[in-house]
Amino acid sequence: MIQANDSFEEIESAVVRFAGDSGDGMQTIGERFTDSSAFAGNDIATLPDFPAEIRAPAGTLAGVSGYQLQFGSRTILTPGDEPDALVAMNPAALKANIGDLPEGGLLVVNVDSFKDMNLKKAGYQNNPLQDEEFRRKYQLVELDLTSLTKDALSESPLKPSDKARCKNFFALGFMCYVYGRPLEPTLKFFDQKWGKKLPDVAEANSTALKAGFNLGDTMETARNRYQLAKAVVQPGVYRKISGNEALVYGLVAGANCAGRELLYSGYPITPASPVLEGLSALKKYGVKTVQAEDEIAAMGVAIGASFAGDLSVVATSGPGMCLKSEFIGLASITELPVIICNVQRGGPSTGLPTKTEQSDLLQSLYSRHGDCPLPVLAAHSPSDCFDCAIEACRIALKHTTPVILLSDLYVANGAEPWLVPNVSDLSPIEVKFADPREPYVTYRRDSQTLARTQAIPGQPGLEHRIGGLEKSEDGGVSYDPQNHEKMTRLRAEKVERIADFLPATQIHGQSSGDLLVIGWGGTYGAITSAVKAMQDEGFSISSVHLRHLNPLPADLEKIIRSFKKVIVPELNLGQLSMILRAKYLVDARSLSKVQGKPFKVLELREAFHKELS
Partner 1 sequence: MSPSNMEEGSLTKKDFVTENDVRWCPGCGDYAILNAVQRTLPELGVPKEKFVVVSGIGCSSRFPYYMNTYGFHTIHGRAPTVVTGVKSANPELSVWMITGDGDGLSIGGNHLMHLLRRNLDVNVLLFNNRIYGLTKGQYSPTSEVGKKTKSTPAGSLDYPVNPLLFALGSEATFVARTTDTDQKHMVETFKAAHAHKGTSFVEIFQNCVIFNNHAFDPVTGRESRGEQSLILNEGQPLRFGENKGIRLNGFDPEVVELGNGVEESDLLVHRSKTANPAYATILAQMAYPAFPTPFGILRQIEGRETYEDALHQQIQSAQAQGTGNLQELLTGKNSWIVE
Please list every residue from 275 through 294 that binds partner 1, using CB under 8 A.
Answer: 282-288, 290, 292-294
Question: Among 55, 465, 583, 610, which residue interacts with partner 1 (rule: CB under 8 A)?
Answer: 465
* Burial class of 606 by CB neighbour count within 10 A (0 to 12, 13 to 18, 19+): exposed
Spatial neighbors of 323 by CB under 8 A, at least 6 apart, are 294, 295, 296, 299
In whole angstroms, how close is the CB of 161 to partner 1 at the nearest point? 31
Query: Which whole-number Å values give the CA distances from 452 to 6, 257, 396, 433, 564, in the listed order?
Result: 69, 20, 12, 9, 42
User: Per-residue x/- mask for partner 1, residues 16 to 35, rule CB under 8 A?
Assistant: -------------------x
Q: In the range 377-436, which residues lie near partner 1 by CB under 8 A?
A: 420-423, 436
Phi and psi at residue 307, to the nearest 5°: -60, -40
Residue closer to partner 1 (CB basis): 466 or 607: 466
CA-CA-CA-CA torsion for 454, 457, 463, 464, nearest 10 degrees?
50
CA 291 vs. chain centroid, Å, equals: 22
Nearer to partner 1, 157 or 476 (CB): 476
DSSP 52-85: SSTTPSTTSGGGEEEEEEEEESS---SS-SS-SE
Q: Are strands 338-344 and 311-316 parallel, antiparallel or unpaired?
A: parallel
Q: What does the per-residue mask of binding to partner 1 show for 469-508, with x meaning CB under 8 A?
A: x------xx-------------------------------
Supply the minimum distance, in Å, between the C-beta of residue 43 and partner 1: 11
Contact 373, 550 (CB under 8 A): yes
Stretch of residues binding partner 1 (CB under 8 A), selected from 99-107, 126-134, 247-255, 533-541: 247-255
Shortest distance, position 306 Cβ to partner 1, whole Å: 7
Question: What part of residues 570-599 is at the interface with partner 1 (CB under 8 A)?
Answer: none
Give the C-alpha separation, 460 to 440, whole Å.
Answer: 11
**Site residues (CB under 8 A) for partner 1, limited to 301-340:** 301-310, 312, 326-327, 330, 334
* Chain centre to alpha carbon of residue 316: 13
The only residue of 199, 259, 348, 457 in contact with partner 1, by rule CB under 8 A = 457
CB of 422 to partner 1, least distance (A): 7
Least distance in angstroms from the C-beta of 120 to partner 1: 42
Give the nearest distance from C-beta 252 to partner 1 in angstroms: 7
Residues 162-221 that bind partner 1 (CB under 8 A): 185, 188, 192
> 10 Å Cβ neighbour count for 31?
21
Helix (H, G, I), strand (E, B) or coil at 398: helix
Q: Note whether 342 binds partner 1 by CB under 8 A.
A: no
* Near partner 1 in 112-171, by CB under 8 A: none
Cβ contacts of 416 within 8 Å, gap of 6 or more: 43, 44, 45, 46, 76, 240, 241, 381, 382, 383
- Closest approach, Cβ 418 to partner 1, in A, equals 9
Q: Is residue 234 part of the contact set for partner 1 (CB under 8 A)?
A: yes
Element (H, E) at 256: helix 243-258
Smaller CB separation from partner 1, 261 or 603: 261
